[in-house]
Amino acid sequence: MQSKKSITSLFLFTLSQMNWRTKSNSSIMTLPSAAICTLYDLEVGTAQSKYFGCGRFGGECVFAPRPNGKAEDDGWVLTYIHDAVEKRSELLVLDAQNIIAEPVARVILPQRVPFGFHCAWVCSEELATAKTRRS
C-alpha cells in the first residue's frame, strides 16, 4: 500500500516513525501548542484538533499502525500528557482516523514524564528483526 500521509510536530519538528513516509503528503499532524494536537488532511483541506484540557500538555505525537490495517491511517496516535493540575503523567491513545473522539485509552503513569520527551513506535516484528541483527 503506497502511503501519502505523514505526521509532523511543529513543536518538536520531527517526522514520526511510521509507515506514512512519502514525498507527497496528504496529511500532517502538528502540535502548535503543547495543549492541542491538530491533524491536517492536505488533500481534502480539513483539520481536526484535540484539546488536551486545562493544565494538560502533550508531547510528541507518534503513529502506531493497526496490524493488518486497511487504510493508511488505520491505527492510533500516541502521546504523553502531563497534567499540571493532577501532577501526573499519562499515555494518551487516540484513534488516528478520529483524533477528536474520546481517547481509546489513558494509561496513568507512576511518575512524571518530562516535557520534550521524544517518542517512537516500534512494532514487534521490527523489534525482533533488530534483535536478530544485533546477535
What does the domain layout of the chain look like in residue ranges? Answer: 32-133
Residue with more model confidence, 37 or 24: 37
Q: In the block, which residue shows the cell 496513568?
A: 108
Cα distance between residue 2 and residue 5, in whole Å: 10
118 is in an annotated binding site: yes
Q: Residue 62: CB partners within 8 Å, gap ≥ 6?
A: 7, 16, 17, 18, 77, 78, 79, 119, 120, 121
pLDDT level of residue 59 (50, 70, 90 thresholds):
confident
**What are the residues whose beta carbons fall under 8 Å from the beta carbon of 30, sequence distance 6 or more?**
8, 9, 10, 11, 37, 38, 40
Range of weakest confidence among 20-29, 70-79, 101-110: 20-29
> Is the CB of residue 61 less than 8 Å from the CB of residue 12?
no
Range in 9-23, 103-117, 121-135 the model is least confident about? 9-23
Please determine, for residue 10, whether its predicted confidence score (pLDDT) is greater than 60. no
- Quote the pTM value: 0.72
How open is the CA angle 56-111-91, to the nearest 5 degrees? 50
H/E stretch holding 45 reads none
Position of cell 493508511? Answer: 72
Note the pLDDT of residue 21: 41
Sign of the alpha-carbon torsion through 90, 57, 96, 73: negative
